[in-house]
Amino acid sequence: MIDGITGLAIALGLLMAYSIGANDVANAMGTSVGSRALTVRRAILIAAVLEFAGAFLAGGEVTKTIRGGILDPSLAGENPQAVLCGMLASLTAAGLWLIVASRLGWPVSTTHSIVGAIAGFGTVALGFDAVQWGKIGQIVASWIVSPLLSGTLSFIVIRIIQRSLLDHADPVERTRRYGWVYVFVVLVVLALVTLFKGLKNLNLGLGFGESLLLAIAVAGVGSALGGYWIRHLNLVVEPESGSGFRNVERMFVVLQVLSACAVAFAHGSNDVANAIGPLAAAISIQDSGTVAASAPVPAWMLLVGGLGIVVGLATLGPRVMATVGERVTELTPTRGYAAEFAAALTIVVASQLGLPVSTTHTLIGAVLGVGLARGIGALDFRVVGTIVLSWIVTIPVGAALSMFFYYFFKGLLT
């Protein structure tokens, strides 16, 4: 029999998962929709399958009870009831903020939302010194580092595509000759994203060298098949205003969709913890009366997280997709490929360096980079300014809401 607190925790965990689907998942598919590589309906269907698969199959059997190491574990361990109320408050605060942001079409970070919420309740429940402010500082620094890195990479990639293929005297011949190279490099990066992020929770025990060799092997087979497909693809030069050669870009439709799929799977396996981490912590405290460093994640929690993500994506996801894929700059398959590739490469580099980057910030930076490759006028800076502002306010808004809901749940449960 589920008691009242456990039922409340499950409901709030479902709310958080729903909000993750509404906001973060749309980022993975936004460029594919914006470039017309996928319709909104197909993007939702593909993302739903892969996000759910990532969350349910590779979400992990255990999760850290304090996301991001934001709170001093010794102080948290001494106050289990405060942490219980705080986890409920964090799920409520972060979930509501993400729903508001999604309704407005703002692509914000779900990880930063839950981190800000945990920092907020920690400050009032455990004291200012209980919060690891150095971690918060690293997150703030990532607002600059991750979009700058991905934006630079996407700018370089789209320039290479333009000079090696689209701007060439015979783009069809160049695509047939060198298209396999683009297939190979993106498959290497996507394989690494899957190994480092998507399957991270399965603890495969592969080092960087082993992972790289496996990625190269997979990419070698994929590029051989892709090269054969490209050579037999009916590529016809059809100049189209503002979008290069439509049929030459057909090759990049498949690559862009593959990139989006890999990011969606990796996102589902990792960011579902933003919902089930606090949920598992609350239930663990309720059952044991203590705050453990990690908590078990039964299959039903992963199911709750996966289902919540899918429903959120289907209902509110298109709003954020429109912002990412259409409102920042005009996208084509080649530009979408460059953005997805750069974002995935940034995720791989950051994971190896231990940098706390946000998938959302990384992808937005990559979209800005491909836009800048067309000139400063290709970007809508009103939209960009709104997005940056939403990033800045995410942590303080999450913290403020969490403080309020902490006192609410404290009064309700004690």
Q: pLDDT digits over 162-210, tens only?
A: 888 888 777 778 888 888 898 899 889 888 888 887 777 777 778 888 9
List the helix and strand counts (H, then E) for the chain.
Answer: 14, 2
Q: Among 20-34, 51-65, 99-113, 346-360, which stretch is predicted with the lowest mean pLDDT?
A: 51-65
The Cα-based distances of 81 to 96, 203, 283, 286 in angstroms read 23, 32, 12, 8
**Reduced to 3 states, what is the DSSP secondary structure of residue 63?**
strand
100 pLDDT tier (thresholds 50, 70, 90): very high
Q: Among 51-55, 182-186, 333-337, which stretch is predicted with the lowest mean pLDDT?
A: 51-55
- DSSP annotation of 329 reads S
With vertex at residue 263, the alpha carbon angle to CA 17 and CA 383, rounded to the nearest 5 degrees, is: 80
pLDDT > 90 fraction of the chain, expressed in percent and rounded:
32
Of 413, 410, 411, 398, give the one whose Cα is nearest residue 125: 410
Tokens of 197: 């992020």
Tokens of 401: 């809401």
Beta-bridge partner residues of 64: 294
Instruction: Give the span between the Cα atoms of 69 and 72, in whole angstroms.
Output: 8
Overall average pLDDT of the 139-149 stretch: 85
Tokens of 123: 């400050």
Instruction: Count the neighbouring beta carbons within 10 Å of the beta carbon of residue 232.
Output: 9
Query: Residue 61 has what pLDDT?
Result: 63
Residue type, 165: L
Residues in the chain: 414
Tokens of 265: 């799977």
Residue type, 6: T
Element (H, E) at 295: strand 294-296
Contacts for 345-350: CB closer than 8 Å, 24+ residues apart? 345/150, 345/153, 345/189, 346/146, 346/149, 346/150, 346/153, 347/193, 347/196, 347/197, 347/263, 347/266, 348/189, 348/192, 348/193, 348/196, 349/149, 350/146, 350/149
Query: Residue 234 has what pLDDT?
Result: 67
Looking at every residue in the chain, the average pLDDT score rounds to 85
Query: Residue 102 has what pLDDT?
Result: 94
**Reduced to 3 states, what is the DSSP secondary structure of residue 131?**
strand
Q: How does pLDDT run across 208-221, given as a tens digit for each residue?
A: 889 999 999 999 99
Query: Residue 64 has what pLDDT?
Result: 64
242 pLDDT tier (thresholds 50, 70, 90): very low
Instruction: Count the neighbouring beta carbons within 10 Å of the beta carbon of residue 381.
Output: 11
Q: How does pLDDT run across 357-382, given as a tens digit for each residue?
A: 788 889 999 999 999 998 888 899 99
Instruction: Count the neighbouring beta carbons within 10 Å of the beta carbon of residue 352.
Output: 12
Query: Residue 155 has what pLDDT?
Result: 96
With vertex at residue 344, the alpha carbon angle to CA 339 and CA 350, rounded to the nearest 5 degrees, is: 125
